[in-house]
Structure formats: C-alpha cells, structure tokens
C-alpha cells in the first residue's frame, strides 16, 4: 500500500509525472493537488487500468487548506513540482521570488497533514527550495533529514544521455557508471565522469575541449529546452521521467521490492548532510550543509547512508566542486533566511 501525492499535478511536469506514477503497480493511491486543474487530470488518469485510486483536489480560495489536507492525509510520498518554470534569459535563481512562498506554503501543509511522508522537491531553485523545506519542517518540529530530497536526477539523466552520444553507445551502458553531485543550477552542477569506471574510456574518446563542452552542456542543458520552448516553459517530460526515476527508487525501498537496488547503484539527491549517516564528514569537508550526494535507502525508504563523492576526484573535478560550492553557499543561505526571517 503506497499513497503518493503530487502537488502541482496540473502543470507541465505534474501531469506526465502523475501518469508515470499511476503506471507503477505498487502505488495504491495517487492524490493530485493543484491550485488549478488537478480534478480534471485526476478524472483523466483514473481511467487508466492500474490499481492506484486517483483523486484530485483544488482549493476553493487561497485560504482554503481543506483540499491540501485531504490530498496529503496518509501519504507515504509527497512529490512537489509546483511553481513557475523559467523563460528564456532567466536563471533558476530568478524563480525564487515566486516559488519560495509556494514551497513554504505546501511544505507547511506536509508538516501539518503528512509529517512522516518522504518529500521529493522538484520546484526550482532546488538549491534554495530544499533549505526552505528543511527550515519549514524544523519550525513544526517534524524535520527528518532522512526523508527530504531535492530532485537533481535530471542532471544525471542529461549527463548519461550526452555522454552516451559522445561515446556512440547506448545510454543504458552509462547508467549507474557516472554521477552528478553538487547543486541543481548552472555551475553548481558537478558531473563526475573522469573519476568513475568510465573515466579511462572517456579520456581516450574525448579531447579536453570536448570534455569541457560536455561538462558545460550538462550544466546548462536546461537552457536548450527553455530556448527551444520559446517562452512556454522548461523541461517537463524529461523532468517527469527523472522525477519518477528517483520516486521509483523510493517506492522500491518502501515496498521492499527493489527493481533497482539503491545500495548497488546509489543515485544522487540534494540532501541535508549533517543529519545523515556519513553526511557530517562530507558537510565538514565541503563547508555546506546541503549538497547532492549518492544516497542509499534503508528500511522505510529513509536514507541509510550517503556516499562521499568528494573522494578520489581528478584535478579538474575538484575545480568543478570549488566553483559549485561558491554558488551553492549563498543560495542555501537565501532559502534558510527566507523562512527564518518570516518567522
Ligand atoms: P508549470 O507552470 O507547467 O506547472 C506548475 C504547476 O504548479 C501549475 O499547474 C500551477 O497551477 C501549480 N501551482 C502553482 N502554485 C501552486 C500552489 N501553491 N499549490 C499547488 N500548485 C501550484 O511548471 P512546470 O514546467 O511543471 O515546472 C514546475 C517547477 O519545476 C518549476 O519551478 C521548474 O523550474 C521546476 N523544474 C525543476 C527541475 C528539476 O530538475 N528539479 C527541472 C525542470 C523544472
């Protein structure tokens, strides 16, 4: 029995993400919430012949919390893709003004109505919205670092796809062999390839110029989609795939039916390090509390341990980390201050 809620289910990411979740045979209830459109999406998805019972909720007014309460009660997993996406020329940080308040409001609902749920935050800027979520949960005394994840999987998906193109191999051959850590925005994104099992193959196949271009493409790949959509938004379908890829790991850990064993191929998420086994040392080494690192799930889909991605890096990977940390620190602080200042 797994109940999943998608908050922002009427949107570009929310709709396909809800579809993918509806297709998961282990999900028994799927609860869709949005300030507009969720009941329609729910009615549509409810005709798909899988067991998950789908319900849609839309508040009658901005002050109406009853629908959020209904959507969240009894949830095991809450996925949040609510908020505005980028338009050409915007960075993810430009979204802070609007999305910070949206995340704070929705996570307040999670704190009140499903405090034990595993929370997956997709809304940008992830580097700030996850600290906002953490601080909000702290204010309600229900913050469990083992259950809060910023979704950075799309960076890994892009890194796998683009590398496979360069190596002229099937992306499936790259899956699980490389990693992307750090944050989720421009040069805070740190693709790790050289120090992985594929490192030698990459060194043989790619010139240093090609390698630099590849790193840049992973870091700024989102812009390709934003520009191609010409103002109609950012990545939605690839993001829905990526969001479900991570959610699927959580569902597997939760139900004890690992189709993909996270202890064998840990995938990264943006987490609060000091509260996690193995995390304190990374936080001290990096000088930040939040960082995307590979996570291994334990029973109940809480984080069992995190893996230090900063060991054994090449010189150029170390430089990428240094740059990432510079960008991450103020973004994390901005998120934390947003909640602390509003308290
Ligand atoms: P969208 O505009 O198509 O959908 C957002 C949905 O959120 C809309 O249906 C809207 O009604 C809903 N919403 C707004 N305020 C809400 C509230 N208070 N409660 C419930 N629902 C609310 O946007 P899209 O393309 O789905 O993107 C959503 C977010 O995901 C953006 O912030 C975007 O930047 C982010 N994103 C994150 C990625 C990642 O890798 N983590 C990748 C791509 C996008």
- Per-residue pLDDT, averaged over 239-243, amounts to 98
pLDDT band at 259 (very low <50, low <70, confident <90, very high): low
219 lines ligand 1 (CB under 6 A): no
What does the pLDDT read at residue 261?
66
How does 330-341 read in b/e, with b if 16+ C-beta sit within 10 Å?
ebbebbbebbee
Over the range 58-72, which residues count as b (16 or more CB within 10 Å of their CB) and which as e?
A: bbeeeeeeebbeebb
pLDDT category of residue 35 using cuts at 50, 70 and 90: very high
Is the whole model's pTM more than 0.90, yes or no?
yes
How much is the average pLDDT of 113-140?
A: 98
Across residues 100-118, what is the average pLDDT? 98
pLDDT of 220 reads 97
Residue 87, classed as helix, strand or coil, is: coil
pLDDT over 50 (residue 193): yes
Model pLDDT, residue 18: 98
Mean pLDDT of 119-134: 97
Q: Report the pLDDT averaged over residues 9-30.
A: 98
194-231 tens-digit pLDDT = 999 999 999 999 999 999 999 999 999 999 999 999 98
pLDDT average, residue stretch 54-63: 96
Q: In the prediction, which pLDDT does 57 show?
A: 98
pLDDT at 228: 95
Please, which pLDDT band fits residue 320 given cuts at 50, 70 and 90? Answer: very high
Ligand 1 neighbour 78 (Cβ under 6 A) = no
Does 136 have pLDDT greater than 90? yes
pLDDT band at 148 (very low <50, low <70, confident <90, very high): very high
Regarding predicted confidence, which is higher, 176 or 260? 176
Q: 184 catalytic, yes or no?
A: yes
Query: Cβ contacts of residue 44 below 8 Å, gap of 6+?
Result: none
Catalytic residue among 3, 22, 147, 184: 184
Tokens of 264: 């064998």
For residue 239, give the 3-state DSSP assignment. helix
Q: How far is the centre of ligand 1, averaged over its atoms, from the C-alpha of 8 (Å)?
A: 6
Nearest-10 crossing angle of helices 315-342, 96-113: 70
Whether the upstream peptide bond of residue 125 has omega within 30° of 0, thus cis, is yes
- In which band, very low, low, confident or very high, does the pLDDT at 312 lie, cut at 50, 70 and 90? very high
Q: Which helix (H) or strand (E) holds 241?
A: helix 237-255
Q: What are phi and psi of 307, to 5 degrees?
A: -105, 135
DSSP state, residue 86: P
pLDDT exceeds 90 at position 256: no
Q: Does ligand 1 have an atom closer than 6 angstroms to the CB of 235?
A: yes
pLDDT of residue 12: 97
pLDDT number for residue 302? 83
Residue 343: is its pLDDT beyond 60?
Answer: no
If you average pLDDT over every residue of the chain, what do you get?
Answer: 95
Q: Which of 275, 240, 6, 278 is nearest to 117 (CA)?
A: 6
pLDDT over 80 at 262, yes or no: no
Using the predicted structure, report yes or no on whether residue 4 has a pLDDT greater than 60. Answer: yes
Name the closest-CA residue to atom 9, ligand 1.
Answer: 11
Span 17-29, average pLDDT: 97
Cα 88–chain centre separation = 22
Q: What angle do CA 264, 270, 271 make, to 5 degrees?
A: 90
Res 92: pLDDT: 87
C-beta 105 within 6 A of ligand 1: yes
Q: With a cut of 60, say whether residue 342 has pLDDT above it.
A: no
Backbone dihedral angles phi then psi of residue 42, each to the nearest 5 degrees: -65, -45
Distance between Cα 128 and ligand 1 center (Å): 15
Residue nearest to atom 24 of ligand 1 (CA): 12
Residue 2 has pLDDT above 60, yes or no: yes
- Ordered DSSP codes for 125-166: PHHHHHHHHHHHHHHTT---GGGEEE--HHHHHHHHHHHHHH
């Amino acid at each position: 029995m797994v109940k999943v809620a998608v908050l922002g289910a009427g949107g570009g990411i929310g709709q396909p993400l809800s579809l993918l979740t509806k297709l998961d045979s282990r999900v028994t209830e799927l609860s869709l919430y949005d300030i507009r459109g969720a009941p329609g999406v729910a009615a549509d998805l409810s005709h798909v012949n899988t067991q998950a019972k789908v319900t849609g909720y839309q508040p009658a007014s901005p002050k109406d919390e009853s629908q959020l309460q209904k959507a969240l009660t009894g949830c095991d997993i809450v996925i949040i893709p609510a908020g505005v996406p980028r338009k050409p020329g915007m960075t993810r940080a430009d979204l802070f003004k609007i999305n910070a308040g949206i995340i704070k409001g929705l996570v307040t609902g999670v704190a009140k109505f499903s405090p034990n749920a595993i929370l997956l935050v997709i809304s940008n800027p992830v580097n700030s919205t996850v600290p906002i979520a953490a601080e909000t949960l702290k204010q309600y005394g229900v913050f469990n670092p083992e259950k809060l994840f910023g979704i950075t999987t799309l960076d890994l998906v892009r890194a796998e796809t683009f590398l496979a193109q360069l190596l002229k191999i099937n992306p499936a051959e790259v899956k699980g062999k490389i990693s992307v850590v750090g944050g989720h925005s421009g040069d805070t994104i740190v693709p790790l390839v050289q120090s992985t099992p594929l490192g030698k193959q990459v060194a043989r196949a790619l010139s240093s110029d090609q390698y630099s271009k590849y790193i840049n493409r992973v870091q700024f790949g989102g812009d390709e989609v934003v520009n191609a959509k010409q103002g109609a938004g950012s990545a939605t379908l690839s993001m829905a795939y990526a969001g479900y890829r991570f959610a699927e790991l959580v569902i597997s850990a939760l139900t004890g039916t690992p189709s993909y064993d996270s202890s064998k191929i840990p995938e990264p998420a943006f987490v609060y390090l000091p509260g996690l086994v193995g995390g304190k040392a990374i936080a001290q080494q990096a000088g930040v509390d939040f960082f995307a690192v590979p996570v291994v799930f334990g029973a109940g889909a809480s984080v069992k341990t995190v893996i230090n991605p900063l060991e054994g890096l090449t010189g150029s990977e170390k430089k990428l980390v240094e740059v990432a940390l510079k960008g991450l620190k103020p973004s994390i602080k901005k998120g934390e201050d947003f909640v602390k200042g509003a308290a």
